[in-house]
Amino acid sequence: MDNISRQKIQALEKMLGEDGPVAVTAHMRPDGDAVGSCVAMYHILKDAGRDARIVLPDRSPECLAFLTGTVEEGRLLIHEDDRAGAEAAISGCSLLFCLDYNAFHRTGEMESALGNSMARKILIDHHLNPSHELFDLVFSETEISSTAEYLYYIMMATERFGQNPGKLPPDAALALMTGMTTDTNNFANSVYPSTLEMASSLLGAGVDRDMMIGHLYNEYREERIRLMGELLSRSLKITSYGVAYMVLDKETIGKYNLQEGETEGFVNIPLSIGKVKLSCFFKEDKDRIRVSLRSKKGISANRCAAEYFHGGGHELAAGGRLTVPDDVRSIHDVPSYVEKVTREFMSTGSNI
Ligand code: 5GP
Ligand code: MN
């Protein structure tokens, strides 16, 4: 991580010191880092006496209820459930935090509300290629585990915290630990010296990590594990180019009554096979097929997502989509599509 600019911290402190409602937003299908960063920011703002609301494009996974449950009634708005309330919070705020995304289109249907908002906008994010022109203040850093970690160091650099994590509201400390833990896949990837220092400081400040791990990784439904078994034994294919892929269709999703977020982590599993360099996971959605990509060092999942799946992300973890019928006629065509494009990708432009 680069040094955080003193000038930017002062600009942030000035905005934090003003009055007026604040909206804290994250990307669609919010994950642990998005929700953790928003919940932490909310508690920090609330603690400072600000009138803060979290506005998310859609619902967050059930395993994160231990975080969202710490937000006061009426202060967590979901655009998918309450479009009017969510858009009123975005248009009515004077300060807007954009956490864990690099451009408004990553918020799906909230994109135009964000674009039209007259509020000053602060970006805090760790993805590649942020759209600088959309924001008044940009904190963008890719050499870091997560937005939660970045938010932690930004807050510690302010006068209010003065490098003392003990001053964080306890719910904010828990939310920051959660965002970092989920984005590193529980310390499996993107771990930097700063990441372990943050973890150590937050543990020292009293975060109950055992409780958090219990919620995140030990409360799955049996169906999730059974489905994982079925996918690994029946769907997983490995090409001669070292590309693994699995396809999950609507029929199977229905059979297991799968909930949002329950396939989180599936795409990582094939990467534990020695010969696999790139892992792709395809999940049939309403009008599109969602794509998750993970790669080993040297292979750019980000470039693969951008070139073949209308997406992007980080170098080793990215995502995107395939549209029906433009890219593929149906979910059944995904294997031939993925074999073709990854053959091209791995034999030409796969290197970072
Ligand atoms: P996941 O596979 O966990 O859904 O996403 C992995 C990473 O890729 C995340 O950092 C996420 O922000 C990014 N990502 C996922 N889908 C998209 C997409 O459609 N567009 C872009 N630009 N990034 C995506
Ligand atoms: Mn993130």
Encode pLDDT of 323-352 as tens digits. 999 999 999 999 999 999 999 999 987 777
Task: State phi, psi for 121 to the nearest 5 degrees.
Answer: -120, 130
Crossing angle for the helix pair 170-183 and 32-47, to the nearest 10 degrees:
160
Across the range 213-222, mean pLDDT stands at 96
Query: pLDDT, tens digit, for every residue of 222-281?
Result: 999 999 999 999 999 999 999 999 999 999 999 999 988 899 999 999 999 999 999 999
Residue of 15, 8, 38 whose CA lies nearest to 141: 8
Q: Measured between alpha carbons, how far is 191 from 76 in angstroms, rounded to an integer?
A: 30
- Predicted pLDDT of residue 230: 96
Query: pLDDT, tens digit, for every residue of 25-70?
Result: 999 999 999 999 999 999 999 999 999 999 999 999 999 999 999 9
Gap from CA of 34 to ligand 2 centroid (Å): 6
Gap from CA of 7 to ligand 1 centroid (Å): 31
Distances, alpha carbon 87 to alpha carbons 12, 35, 110, 203, 218, in Å: 24, 18, 8, 37, 35
Identify the residue whose C-alpha is closest to ligand 1 atom 16. 319
Gap from CA of 321 to ligand 1 centroid (Å): 9
Banded pLDDT at 175 (limits 50, 70, 90): very high
Q: Which ligand is nearest to the CA of 183?
A: 2
Looking from the CA of 95 toward its CB, the CA atoms found within 13 Å total 22
> Which contacts qualify for 162-168: CB closer than 8 Å, 24 or more apart?
165/201, 165/202, 165/204, 165/205, 166/204, 166/205, 168/40, 168/44, 168/205
Taking 90 as the threshold, does the pLDDT of residue 140 lie above it?
yes
- Predicted pLDDT of residue 235: 96
Cβ neighbourhood burial of 349 (10 Å; 0-12, 13-18, 19+) = exposed
Gap from CA of 208 to ligand 2 centroid (Å): 21
Q: Measured between alpha carbons, how far is 155 from 153 in angstroms, rounded to an integer?
A: 5
Q: Which ligand is nearest to the CA of 323?
A: 1
* Tokens read off for 317: 């973890």
DSSP E strands in the chain: the ranges are 22-26, 52-56, 76-78, 95-99, 120-125, 137-140, 237-238, 243-248, 278-284, 288-295, 312-313, 317-323
Q: Which ligand is nearest to the CA of 318?
A: 1
Gap from CA of 170 to ligand 1 centroid (Å): 29
The ligand 1 atom at the shortest distance from the C-alpha of residue 102 is 22
The ligand 1 atom at the shortest distance from the C-alpha of residue 292 is 2
Identify the residue whose C-alpha is closest to ligand 1 atom 24. 319
For 207-219, letters b (16+ CB in 10 Å) and e give: beeeebeeebeee
SS3 294: strand
- Predicted pLDDT of residue 260: 85
pTM over 0.85: yes
Identify the residue whose C-alpha is closest to ligand 1 atom 7. 318
The residues placing their C-beta within 5 Å of ligand 2, an ion, are 33, 100, 146-147, 183
Gap from CA of 311 to ligand 1 centroid (Å): 7
CB–CB of 301/318 below 8 Å?
yes
> How far does CA 279 lie from the centroid of its chain?
18
For 7-20, letters b (16+ CB in 10 Å) and e give: eebeebeebbeeee
Crossing angle for the helix pair 193-204 and 170-183, to the nearest 10 degrees:
150
State whether the Cα torsion 69-23-38-261 is positive or negative. Answer: positive
Gap from CA of 119 to ligand 1 centroid (Å): 26
Query: pLDDT, tens digit, for every residue of 264-323?
Result: 999 999 999 999 999 999 999 988 999 999 999 999 999 999 999 999 999 999 999 999
Cβ neighbourhood burial of 105 (10 Å; 0-12, 13-18, 19+) = middle
Residue corresponding to tokens 């989180």: 264
- Predicted pLDDT of residue 17: 96
Mutate to test the pocket of ligand 1, among 127, 282, 283, 316 (most ligand atoms within 8 A of CB): 127
Amino acid residing at 276 = V
- Predicted pLDDT of residue 348: 87
Count CB atoms within 10 A of the CB of residue 340: 11
Residue of 24, 1, 12 whose CA lies nearest to 157: 12
Q: Which residues line ligand 1 (CB under 6 A)?
A: 292, 311-314, 317-321
SS3 23: strand
- Predicted pLDDT of residue 351: 76
Q: Which ligand is nearest to the CA of 100?
A: 2
- Predicted pLDDT of residue 190: 94
Taking 80 as the threshold, does the pLDDT of residue 159 lie above it?
yes
Taking 80 as the threshold, does the pLDDT of residue 109 lie above it?
yes
Taking 90 as the threshold, does the pLDDT of residue 201 lie above it?
yes
